[in-house]
Amino acid sequence: MHNSYNKLISAIKSKKSMLCVGLDSDISKIPAESFSKNINGLFEFNKTIIAQTADICAAYKINFAFYEQYGSDGVDLLKQTLQIIPQDIFTIADAKRGDIGNTSTAYSKSVFQYFMADSITVNPYMGIDSIVPFLEDTDKFIFLLALTSNKGSYDFQRLECDGKPLYLHIIEKSAKEFEVENLGFVIGATHPTELGDIRKLIPNNAVLIPGVGAQGGDVSAVMAANGGGPALINVSRAVIYPDIIDNDFGASVRRAALKYNRLINLTTSTFLKEWG
């Protein structure tokens, strides 16, 4: 198996978890009772979340925009956060990059060589030649946006072309072009019926499933639709901004992560049996 894919599968099996914690960290939202409202406080916020969840989750998804908004200090924070994530946990650069070849090559170097992330989310709108540069290093892994969890997914992704929705064209064409060991897809938790149909086309590709928690995706419906394939169920706000009990932010984060991991694990046995 290719290195990043092997790390992904190993993390799921060793942690007995498909939980991915999204570090969408925002100074305006961190609890002032526990952290200073500045970059240093944001780093302590991330450190606390990682310390409380590293034994529970298989992956962390870091949304680059939440860090880039703070300029060079945010970029430094992004790198520091990636550096403190334990090596056995899979990392996703949620950067949604995608451009003509030489630009995608530059994006790839940034994410994989500077930030040292294991994978990246990629926007496929500009076509196969905009995706290829992210896999010049065949050890790396990409998640292509296919059917996203937001309401706007109905605007373009479902438009019919040659008898099928655009998102299916993306999945089918890219699955023919790239190896399972390098290619995953982003499928929103708000579309469990479609996920079930997609799984018939790509039973072995990893899928990143955002939209559980604050966006209303149902864990049991998602896991039933996913079947036995490898997946990461991303939960961001519901874990990192939990209801704080007894003024203990760390314990409250851990409680939320354990809750979602238990919900996910009710139906992960098929995957663990087939891939274990």
Residue 154 has what pLDDT? 86
**pLDDT one-digit tens code per residue, 64-112:** 999 999 999 999 999 999 999 999 999 999 999 999 999 999 999 999 9
**Cβ distance 103 to 111 under 8 Å?**
no
Residue 15 catalytic? no
**Cβ distance 15 to 9 under 8 Å?**
no
Catalytic residue among 96, 140, 151, 173: 96
Q: Which of 260, 136, 183, 175 is nearest to 8 (CA)?
A: 183
**pLDDT one-digit tens code per residue, 256-269:** 999 999 999 886 55
Is 3.20.20.70 the CATH classification of the domain at 3-275? yes
**pLDDT one-digit tens code per residue, 215-271:** 778 899 999 999 889 999 999 999 999 999 999 999 999 999 999 999 998 865 555
Q: Which helix (H) or strand (E) holds 263?
A: helix 249-265
Residue 272 has what pLDDT? 52
Q: What is the mean pLDDT of residues 25-48?
A: 96
Instruction: List beta partners, residue 155.
Output: none
- pLDDT-based confidence at 196, cuts 50/70/90? very high
